[in-house]
Structures are given as structure tokens and as C-alpha cells.
């Protein structure tokens, strides 16, 4: 009788070990599948975002900007856009309702390239409710660049696309050149863009 009990207990123990092992194996497979699905979804989202960004770049490159547009600095001094431009300027365009971390990331990336690009060639064009809000926001970011709030935005060429973006503006033609929409997940690509802009437009500027 004891032998049967021992045998039954042994079989039950083996069964429990087997089912426990299978449970952890299946659970591990499920976790792996969930992780794979999440990674695929993130990559798909990044691809869709990249497609949208390239479409904006394609459609807006070469568009004219309204030369009568006026901007305000942090002290509410008002200028025509053409008055603040040099021959070529790298513009960072953002709207106050854009993702804050996305805006700050571009500020930080610009800082890494500001020595080579030269501060006078960089202009930030923002859209805040008023110049006071812009001034308060930019003070927290400690930016060394010229920054202006757009007063009478009437140009679809520099409209809100849901994220900050860059372009080079030629003062003579007032056209958008080399527009670039950064991807938050690919900061190295933004650095390459900034370096290419420097080589193309500012390499001969002392």
C-alpha cells in the first residue's frame, strides 16, 4: 500500500512539475510575442510618421513666405520678417501646442551645433498666444538664439504640422529651402541635417 501511495505521490509531483514547466514556457512565449508585437507597432508608427514628415518636406520646399509678415521679440519690438533675416538663415519653427519635449529636444540639438552654425544664422520663429508667453517660455530654456513670435501668420507655408521643424530661408527669394521635420526617435538624423545645412549654406561664413 505504501508503495502505491509513494508511486501516486511521485506521479502527481512529476505532473505538477511538468505543468509548471509548461506554464512558464507558455508564459515566456506569450511575453515574447507581446514584446514583438509592441516593437512592430512602434516601428510601424515610426514609419508612418516618417512618411508624413517626408510628405511635408516635399510639398513645402520651394514655397514662398509672406514678406509682409511681422514678428515680435521678447520685448514686444515689432519687425517685418525681412528685417531680421540675413542672406540665409536656419529657422526652427514651432507652435506652443507642439509636444514640449519635442521642442526642447530641438533646442538641445541646436546647442550642440551652434558653434559651427554660428548663432547669428539661427532664428527661432514661434507661435504663442502673445509675446509675453513666448518670453516666459524661452527664458526657462536659456536659449542663446534670436527668437520671435509671429504676429500675423497668413502663410500656409509655415503652418502648424503638429511638430517643430526646420528650414532655410533665402532673404532675396523668401522661399523655403531644405525643410526638415525631425523624428524624436532619431536625433542622429537631425544632427546630420544640421551639419549638412552648415556645409551647404554657412561653411564660407567666418
Instruction: Bin 70: left if φ > 0, else alpha if -120 < ψ < 50, else beta.
Output: beta
Is 52 a residue whose pLDDT tops 80?
no
Is 25 a residue whose pLDDT tops 70?
no
Which of 106, 116, 111 lies closest to 167, judged by CA? 106
pLDDT category of residue 54 using cuts at 50, 70 and 90: confident
| Average pLDDT for 42-59 | 60
Q: Is 166 exposed, middle or buried (0-12, 13-18, 19+ CB in 10 A)?
A: buried
- Mean pLDDT score of the chain: 77
Model-level pTM?
0.71
Amino acid at each position: 500500500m505504501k508503495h502505491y501511495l509513494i508511486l501516486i505521490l511521485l506521479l502527481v509531483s512529476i505532473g505538477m512539475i511538468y505543468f509548471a514547466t509548461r506554464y512558464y514556457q507558455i508564459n515566456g512565449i506569450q511575453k515574447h510575442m507581446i514584446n514583438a508585437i509592441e516593437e512592430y507597432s512602434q516601428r510601424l508608427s515610426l514609419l508612418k510618421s516618417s512618411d508624413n514628415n517626408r510628405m511635408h518636406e516635399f510639398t513645402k520646399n520651394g514655397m514662398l513666405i509672406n514678406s509682409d509678415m511681422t514678428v515680435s521679440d521678447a520685448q514686444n519690438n515689432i519687425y517685418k520678417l525681412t528685417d531680421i533675416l540675413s542672406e540665409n538663415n536656419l529657422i526652427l519653427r514651432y507652435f506652443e501646442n507642439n509636444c514640449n519635449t519635442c521642442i526642447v529636444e530641438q533646442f538641445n540639438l541646436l546647442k550642440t551645433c551652434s558653434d559651427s552654425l554660428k548663432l547669428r544664422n539661427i532664428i527661432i520663429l514661434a507661435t504663442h498666444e502673445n509675446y509675453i508667453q513666448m518670453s516666459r517660455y524661452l527664458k526657462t530654456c536659456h536659449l542663446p538664439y534670436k527668437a520671435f513670435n509671429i504676429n500675423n501668420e497668413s502663410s500656409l507655408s509655415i503652418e502648424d504640422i503638429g511638430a517643430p521643424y526646420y528650414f532655410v530661408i533665402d532673404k532675396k527669394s523668401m522661399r523655403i529651402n531644405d525643410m526638415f521635420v525631425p523624428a524624436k526617435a532619431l536625433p542622429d538624423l537631425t544632427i546630420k541635417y544640421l551639419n549638412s545645412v552648415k556645409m551647404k549654406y554657412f561653411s564660407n561664413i567666418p
